Structure 1
Amino acid sequence: MKKGLWFALCAVLTVSLLAGCGASNEGSGDKTYLFATDAQYAPMEFMDKDKITGFDADFLEAVMKEAGLKYELKNVGWDTLLVSLEKGIDYDAAISSVTISDDRLKTNDFSRPYFESTNMILTKEGSPIKSALDLKDKKVGVQGLTTADILMMELTSKDNANIKKFDSNAVAIMELEQGGVDAVVADMAVVTEYVRNNPDKKFVSIIDVENFGSEYYGIMLPKGSELKVKLDPAIKTVLENGTYAELYKKWFNKDADTAKLLEQQ
């Protein structure tokens, strides 16, 4: 055999062996999946010093343990999270109280639902606001690119200057404190937690499922992600084996309706 041919054959064999080793490593669970979150949604996800904590963080840990997958959770901005997952860059998935909606399903995949929520109104004591319909002629603060943002635009009009959009719910609530808006609309868990932790602020929360409706959170994925078929069975098991109920009780001090969640697909 000619020396040149021998070296060429060795090179081919070496590349083949390396490729085989690489596939084996990924298949054996060595891959670390990178998850994004916007840790400004206490008690769902928030920073405790330099650690991301909250219901979503605990839930993800339980799901990934059940699935036998390694992961890392990164705190990023809400806008960054949405853009990255839509384009399928930087992150493999996102868990950040992300509502499964028809619009988002056009650009992204989602895991099976794992949390039922609704939007709530936060306003000051003595306010004439009693329901979502009372918001039509009021100044309302929302976090941009959230379902609260979409709901308020639908309830009023898309060019309504009274809808003030902020980078986070925390900034929107600060605007309410300072009198810049009459109310804030945000996820139920966020509003409830804020009222509970700030009794001195004299704020009240108003639930209006009739006008706001219910919504479900899911783990957000790029279109065609391999993770969905790995996450869905693990989420189902966590819902069924009592782990989810324990986490829900820990963070919300009430029982979870796991049966209703299991009905969702």
Structure 2
Amino acid sequence: MKHWVKGMALVMTLVLAACGGKPEEAATGEKIYSMGVNAAFAPFESVGSDGKLQGFEIELAQAVSDAAGIKIKMTNTPWEGIFNGLANGDSDFLMSAITITEQRKQSMDFSEPYFDATQLVVLGKGQSISRAEQIKGMKVSVLTGSTGDTIAQKIQGATSTDIRRFESLELALKELENGGVQATIGDNGVVANYLTNNGRADLDIVEGINFDKEYYGMAVRKGDSALLEKLNAGIKQVRADGTYVRIHEKYFGKL
């Protein structure tokens, strides 16, 4: 397991993450902000063999909070309930490869973007398309509620039975491996990481399909400007002092 932040500070953060619940206070009386994260999206976030959270966003969140001068706890939260958890106060903010969209802006506020992403189409060997629209009629696997899910619905229709939804993009890709679907749509960072680590020579990323670029941001409850300012200040600091570049290069290579 790789961590940018070592020692007791991270250990205490992850111990607190197991507790869940409402915002807490440290022994000093300082507030601890609860961060919701769905740890099933390697290399952004996952659970290591030792049971601890790991990944790009785990390290970046700790670095941003340190730079902002705030304490956080990280709570592993199912994707299906992560936004409700923010709305009802189980989490103070979210950081889980969340694309900033106009629809989401209606119910939550976002930090400055910290990652650029796009969607990829993955096919089984022997399949070939040149346009995204050609997946119409194919069985397609996606992460439930993701941008890939939205794209599949636009092409196949919102009620199409050809869309197979899964709790993680890894499971969606496994369904493609096993022949249950003919294509998978998902975030580029996760897809590339999965293919690299699993050596799937029988799967192909489709080249030349240009989806709109997406931007990931930290989400806070609508109107929580105080926390948003802290997070933005932290993001600005880690970009300025080189911390962001070091963490990015560790997981994705040079910017």
Name 1:72's counterpart in structure 2: 73
- Alignment match, 1:99: 99
The letter for the 1-side match of 2:172 is A
**Partner SS, residue 122 of structure 1:** strand
Are the aligned partners of 2:177 and 2:203 in contact in 1 as well (CA < 8 Å)? no
Write the distance in 2 (CA, Å) between the matches of 1:175 and 1:188. Answer: 18
The residue type paired with residue 53 of structure 1 is Q
Partner of 1:214: 213
- Indicate whether 1:138 and 2:138 are aligned: yes
- 1:53 Cα offset (Å): 0.6
SS at match of 1:137: coil
1:224 aligns with 2:223: yes
Q: 1:155 to 1:200 in 2, by over 3 A?
A: closer
How far apart, in 2, do the equivalents of 1:193 and 1:92 lie?
29
> In the TM superposition, what are the counterparts of 1:149-228 in structure 2 within 5 Å?
149-208=149-208, 210=210, 212-225=211-224, 226-228=226-228
| Contact preservation (8 Å) 1:88, 1:223 | no
Question: Cα offset for 1:245?
Answer: 0.9
Separation (CA, whole Å) in 1 of partners of 2:40 and 2:115: 18
The one-letter amino acid paired with 1:38 is: N
Number of residue pairs the alignment of both structures matches: 228
SS at match of 2:90: coil
Aligned partner of 1:108 in structure 2 is 108
Superposition pairs for residues 108-127 of structure 1, below 5 Å?
Answer: 108-127=108-127
Q: Scaled by the length of structure 2, what TM-score is found?
A: 0.84
SS across alignment from 1:216: strand
SS at match of 1:91: coil
Q: Post-superposition shift, 1:247?
A: 0.8
1:60 and 2:47 aligned? no
SS at match of 1:180: coil
Once superposed, what is the RMSD of the aligned Cα atoms? 1.8
Partner Cα distance (2:173, 2:108) in 1: 30
Residues 173-225 of structure 1, C-alpha deviations (whole Å, 9 max, x = no match): 22112211101111111100111112245212225553x21000000111112
Structure 1 counterpart of 2:205, one-letter code: S
Per the TM alignment, residue 137 of structure 1 is displaced from its structure 2 partner at its CA by 2.0
The alpha-carbon distance between structure 1 residues 199 and 68, as it changes in their structure 2 partners (threshold 3 A), is: same
Q: State the identity %.
A: 33
- Aligned residues of 1:113 and 1:218 also touching (Cα < 8 A): yes
Q: 1:208 & 1:220 partners in 2: Cα distance? A: 31
Compare CA radii of gyration and give the structure with the larger one. Answer: 1
Higher helix proportion (structure 1 or 2): 1
Match of 1:7 in 2: none
Instruction: Tell me what 1:90 maps to.
Output: 90
State the alpha-carbon separation in 2 of the partners of residues 104 and 31 from structure 1.
Answer: 27
SS in 1 for 2:206: strand
SS of the residue corresponding to residue 236 of structure 2 reads helix
Which 4+ residue blocks in structure 1 deviate beyond 6 angstroms? none
Q: Secondary structure at the match of 1:227?
A: helix
Structure 1 residue runs of 5 or longer lacking an equivalent are 1-24, 257-265
Contact 1:120 1:208 in 2 (8 A): no
